[in-house]
Amino acid sequence: MTEIQNKTYTIKIGTSDFKTLVTESTLFVDKTLLIKSVMADAYDVLLITRPRRWGKTLNMTMLQYFFSIPVQKNGDTDEAEQLKKREIFSHLKIGADSDFLEKYLGKIPTIFISFKGIKGGTYETIEKGVKDLIYRLYATHEYLLHSDNLSKRQKTLFSKYITKEFDSAELQSSIFYLSEMLHSHFSRKVLILIDEYDTPLNDWYALQLAREAISAEEIVYFQDVLALFREILGSTLKDNIYLEKGVVTGILRVAKASLFSGVNNLGENSVLEGTYVQHFGFTETDVNTLLHTCGIDQDTETAQTLKSWYNGYTIGGLTIYNPWSIMNCLNNKGSFKAYWVGTASTALLEQALILDKFQEEIQILIDGGNIEIIADPKMVFSDIKSSPNAFYNLLLFSGYLTAERSQENEDATYTCDVKIPNREVRGVFMGSLQKWISKKFNIDVKEYNALLNDLLKGNVDIFTQKLKSYLETSASFFATGPKNAELFYNGFVMGLISAVTSQYFVDAERESGKGRADLLLIPKPTAKYNNALILEFKFATQGENLSLLAQKALDQIETKNYGAKIKTHENVLNTLKVGLAFRGKDVEVAFK
């Protein structure tokens, strides 16, 4: 990777506030045309779902900053702030439409609320967090207490919210009441922006996957949380005569909850629809512009590597990059590594990825293949344990898979071929595979890595002893049939490849000498150990002698000259040749 030279720009990483981004950073992607798209949309309420860190909150704060009417403490319009807005937006893409700016900039009373930080294990915790959020929302509009346009009743009610003396019923209607008060003050309908609406519900799905059974008390808790959000969203968006336009964002469409039941004129947009594709994530044009600004666009190898790491998403016919990873990569002088992974709680996915029922498809995906699913934006994600299709929907809508091919069906579902989008996300699957193998061995990932280190160091005897012991622990899994044995050993090899990729050149079933080695590991100059390894795997039939088969695998390595490629690497001190023969939970190893 060519390091970025002579930086003449500033990057603001981690901010989700639009005003902060555009005033404190000179390297950002202009998404202001989303503003026009929202207003031109025929739907009164928009539900837009995208993976985390794809710019949802940033876009919502952009909408808020553009449309909201700047006010002073006494409720009068803040003309100085209005001029600042015009100065900012006139230099962005939307500034080309002066008529639009004149009609809408700073002209619509706006409510913005984000449920991103609302989490908890009990209903009381969730309700307390939402109450505090509503209090802070009302506090930003405290000027309404001085408004001559609000009735005594409205001011009395406002005072209850600002002093946290409102009850549960008033909590459920709190955003609706605020829209009514803003309409009274400004004599104009209100824009309502609700960000990350599904965050409080995602923890529940993670809990379901983590446990064998959910208590009756926890089910009641979840139903109460659903009821709370159903009432808040319903009162805010359904038949609200003060609503100009509503925009709701999240990661998943929570179907079973019927949170949007009865909401009139609701438009939904997910990663399967192309309407808003250019506004969330980075397009090819966006990335090329960024690379040009950074002065690295002339390095073809760099551009291709960046694509393999961070793009691969196909939405509405466009190639989309992960924006969080791109900006972090540029900020770190072009260092390629996983930035998006680990930026938020992924307990829901982590629990699902190590379930036995998904391993066959996961290995196909890791190997670069695709699988066919029925994608449903209204999928019931709480059914992940019982429905593999629900699991792959979760991966698709969360950004861990992308649809290579998508065809809409008559029932509003989509038949899709899905695959892992890029190298960064593939690392998540490889990590989960190691955890699955460790779980089968009944050891932690640290012990699993120690096992692999014994092999890399050349301690094949110790490696063999440990492997036999761990396989004995996994006997019940192998007892269910030969397919599981094949699945396990294939996963074991993939896990081995994943663990050594950073320090070794890996060839899996590639041409070398007079044939193909199952696995060829050649240490890079920076590797801790200078041993190259050639591994040949054999699977025995019932009654076949494992020791003889392992020796046969070893002989095959030598007679077919699998080590020919290693000779070109001068840093290799030793070459270890290892033949492994498996049958169910039994293994024999021959090495030289």
> Does residue 384 register a pLDDT over 80?
no
| Percent above pLDDT 70 for the chain | 90
Q: How many residues does the chain have?
A: 592
Token pair for residue 197?
Answer: 């609406």
The per-residue pLDDT for 424 is 92
Strand boundaries in 377-502, DSSP class E: 402-408, 414-419
The region, left, alpha or beta by phi > 0 then psi within -120 to 50, assigned to residue 162 is alpha
DSSP string, 131-170: HHHHHHHHHTTGGGGG-TTS-HHHHHHHHHHHTT---HHH
Cα–Cα distance, 550 to 556 (Å, whole number): 10
pLDDT classification of 541: cutoffs 50, 70, 90: confident
Q: Are strands 243-250 and 110-114 parallel, antiparallel or unpaired?
A: unpaired
Which DSSP symbol is given to 358? G
Cα–Cα distance, 323 to 48 (Å, whole number): 17
Q: Minimum mean pLDDT among 173-177, 217-221, 544-548: which range?
A: 217-221
Q: Are 59 and 46 in contact (CB under 8 A)?
A: no
Q: Minimum mean pLDDT among 14-28, 312-326, 352-366, 400-414: which range?
A: 352-366
> Does residue 37 register a pLDDT over 70?
yes
The per-residue pLDDT for 516 is 45
The per-residue pLDDT for 7 is 56
The helices-and-strands tally (H runs, E runs) of the chain is: 23, 18
Average pLDDT over residues 82-98: 96
Strand partners, 315: 318
Token pair for residue 51?
Answer: 């993976």
- Pick 493 or 276 by higher pLDDT: 276
Q: Which of 444, 445, 466 is nearest to 455 (CA)?
A: 466
Could you give the maximum distance between any two Cα atoms of the chain, in Å? 94
Digit-coded pLDDT (tens) for 559-589: 888 878 888 888 899 999 999 888 888 889 9
CB atoms within 10 A of CB 540: 18
User: Cα dihedral angle (242, 247, 250, 251), rounded to 10 degrees?
Assistant: 140
Whole-model pTM: value is: 0.87
Digit-coded pLDDT (tens) for 223-256: 888 889 999 999 999 999 999 999 999 988 776 5
The per-residue pLDDT for 471 is 85
The per-residue pLDDT for 510 is 46
Q: How far apart are the first and last CA of the chain?
A: 38
